[in-house]
C-alpha cells in the first residue's frame, strides 16, 4: 500500500534510452583511452531514434563517424589539447589559515 505503483513509474523514451547508452559507451574508461567506440544498433532502437542520435553525433565537429557494413557506427575522436579544454570555474572562497 505504501509502495509506488507501476503506473507512477516514469518510463524513458526510446531516444533517451539510446542517447544514454551511446553516452555511456563514449564515456567508458576504455573508450576514452583508445579514443574510439563502435556502437551497434539494437533491435529495440527505432529508426527515428537511431537517425536522430547518429545525426547529433555526425554534427559534432570533434567526432569522426564511420558507418560500417553491418549497420554499426564507429565513433573516433582526438584528444583535447590543454588550451582547448573548457576552463572550470573556481568559486571564490576565503583562504583558510593553516592549522599550524
Question: Where do the domains of the chain lie, and which CATH numbers do they carry?
Answer: 12-79 (3.90.1070)
* C-alpha cell read off for 50: 537511431
* C-alpha cell read off for 56: 547529433
Q: Where are the beta strands (DSSP E) in 27-87?
A: 36-39, 63-67, 73-77
- Is residue 24 classed exposed, middle or buried when 0-12, 13-18 and 19+ CB atoms within 10 A define those classes? exposed
Positive/negative CA dihedral, 65, 70, 72, 76: negative
Residue 34 in this model has a pLDDT that exceeds 90 = yes
Residue 92: CB atoms within 10 Å: 5
pLDDT attached to residue 22? 96
40-95 tens-digit pLDDT: 999 999 999 999 999 999 999 999 999 999 999 999 999 876 666 556 555 544 55
Q: Which of 78, 82, 80 is nearest to 36 (CA)?
A: 78
Amino acid at each position: 500500500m505504501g509502495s509506488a505503483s507501476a503506473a507512477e513509474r516514469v518510463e524513458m523514451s526510446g531516444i533517451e534510452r539510446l542517447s544514454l547508452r551511446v553516452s555511456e559507451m563514449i564515456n567508458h574508461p576504455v573508450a576514452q583511452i583508445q579514443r574510439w567506440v563502435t556502437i551497434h544498433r539494437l533491435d529495440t532502437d527505432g529508426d527515428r531514434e537511431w537517425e536522430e542520435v547518429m545525426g547529433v553525433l555526425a554534427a559534432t565537429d570533434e567526432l569522426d563517424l564511420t558507418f560500417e557494413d553491418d549497420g554499426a557506427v564507429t565513433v573516433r575522436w582526438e584528444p583535447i589539447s590543454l588550451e582547448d579544454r573548457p576552463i572550470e570555474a573556481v568559486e571564490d572562497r576565503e583562504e583558510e589559515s593553516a592549522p599550524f
